[in-house]
Structure 1
Amino acid sequence: MTKIHLYFVPGLAASKEIFKNIVLPIDQYEVHIIEWLIPEKKESLTSYAQRMAAFVTEENAVLVGVSFGGVVVQEMSKFLELQKLIIISSVKSKQELPKRFTVAKVTMAYKLLPTSIVSSVGDLTKFAIGPRSKKRLRLYNEYLSIKDKDYLDWAIEKMVNWNRNEVDTEVYHIHGDFDAVFPIKNIKNANILEGGTHIMILNKGSKVSKMLQNIIENH
């Protein structure tokens, strides 16, 4: 039996360990995790996505991105022939971004975020998953492994300034109705996980796994 090759891209600054609770049948799936590259100086998102796409070496693969990784995989897909493109806890266009991102873009407030010191404390985690729960902050902070200032500055700028207008109709979207970073009120045409937060990849891994498998096998 030919296995389905599944490539994952994690959330902003997160390590591959964020996928530890995603469990799929090992006789059907071969899982690959693409870890973050350090961007070149002033590198465009398109150029970065092309470099990341080079890690997808299997034909007819499924590509999955979480949060900012969901934005990156949509850009990567321009350089790939995929079986499926799936995003989790992410957005499909700038229209789905929350107002605070728009304000940050207009005021360029994101440039004031002191990533050189933020990377070791909770502020970056709050940016990555929202401000609401101390328990969730602690949980997600365990998986924030990318502390490189150039990467963090670059990633935050690219997330805030993502300018896609047209939604790619080929994208499958899994989203939680309690996501504090990308509120459900802005999200259209998604597979909704009830009670899912922005870190449901960690704390609702079995349910996310089932939703992934359903999309891959039945759509």
Structure 2
Amino acid sequence: MNSESVPGSRDTQAPLILLPGLGGDSRMFRPQRVAFPDLIVPEWIEPLPREPLVEYAARLAKEIDPGKPCYIGGVSFGGVVALELATHLNALECFLIGSIRSHQEMPRRLAMFRPVSSLVMVPKWLSPFVMGCFGRYLPPLRRGVLHQLNDAEGRFLRWAAQAILRWKPSKGVENLRVFQIHGDQDLIFPPQLTRADRVIAGAGHLVSMTHSAAVNGCLRERMTFRDALPGADSPQGFPELD
């Protein structure tokens, strides 16, 4: 299994697996790793040409399956992949952080590119250009995100941008237990288009980084509550939680 994790996790505790957003990597979850030292951040596998997101997730699930109940989630694009992964894993709950439950929550300005998704490109020159022109004026968090984008593999970025535009949830997604955390200032996926369970005031699309204490609190609350429930080793039979 290709992942970054800290050794020493308890076998009796359901692991937390989080996937970064488009162009991000494990550095995106530094604030979460402080709160959850055993956090697992899998590496992306190489997508096949024009591979649908649901098929990619099925292959990725075989690589990262911990072989026991787990919590899985992701930021933005990573949340969408996490939804599809959860249908192949023994997922107790799926956490969406600044992400969407279905293509219907995608804003119109993005959805309009769906018919021409094969033409969508993510320019690799954008990050170094912005860093060169404005880097010294950007706060550390923004500079860090641009560094991650610059380090990302170009072919994967192009595939991911096209895959999310073509994505429609598989049937298993509707049966998942999902908890959606969103910033009320998110401009990529506007909160009014989502069915967020927790809206964090003053947070934008990078809510997991800018408001990490609130996000970590939500994750811990959900995981602690579910771990304490009878039959917590199975996603079936849980009562609904507010």
TM-score normalised to the size of structure 1?
0.83
Aligned to 1:105: 114
Question: 1:25-73 deviations in whole A, cap 9, x for unaligned?
Answer: 55xxx31111222212222212210122121214111101110000001
Identity rate of aligned residues, in percent? Answer: 25
Q: CA offset at residue 123 of structure 1? A: 9.8
SS in structure 2 at match of 1:195: coil
Give the letter aligned to residue 69 of structure 1.
Answer: G
Aligned to 1:183: 190
Identify unmatched segments of 5+ residues in structure 2: 1-9, 131-137, 226-240
For 1:16 and 1:24, the matched residues in 2 are separated by 14
Aligned to 1:53: 61
1:95·1:165 contact (CA, 8 Å) conserved in 2? no
Aligned to 2:232: none
Give the letter aligned to residue 32 of structure 1.
Answer: I
SS in structure 2 at match of 1:20: helix
Aligned residues: CA RMSD: 2.6
Give yes or no for the alignment of 1:96 onto 2:96: no
Give the letter aligned to residue 88 of structure 1.
Answer: I
Going from structure 1 to structure 2, the CA distance change for 1:38 and 1:19 (only over 3 Å counts) comes to same
For 2:166 and 2:68, the matched residues in 1 are separated by 31
SS in structure 1 at match of 2:148: coil
2:180·2:195 contact (CA, 8 Å) conserved in 1? no
SS in structure 2 at match of 1:209: helix
SS in structure 2 at match of 1:64: strand
Which of these residues, 201, 204, 208, is aligned with residue 208 of structure 2?
201
Q: Which has the higher contact order (CA 8 A, sep 6+)?
A: 1
Aligned length: 205
Give the letter aligned to residue 207 of structure 2.
Answer: M
For 1:143 and 1:88, the matched residues in 2 are separated by 18
SS in structure 2 at match of 1:63: strand
For 1:80 and 1:147, the matched residues in 2 are separated by 26
Which of these residues, 160, 166, 169, is aligned with residue 165 of structure 2?
160
Q: CA offset at residue 145 of structure 1? A: 5.2
For 1:96 and 1:121, the matched residues in 2 are separated by 27
Which of these residues, 188, 212, 217, is aligned with residue 219 of structure 2?
212
Identify unmatched segments of 5+ residues in structure 1: 126-133
Which of these residues, 9, 18, 31, is aligned with residue 19 of structure 2?
9
1:64·1:73 contact (CA, 8 Å) conserved in 2? yes
TM-score normalised to the size of structure 2?
0.75
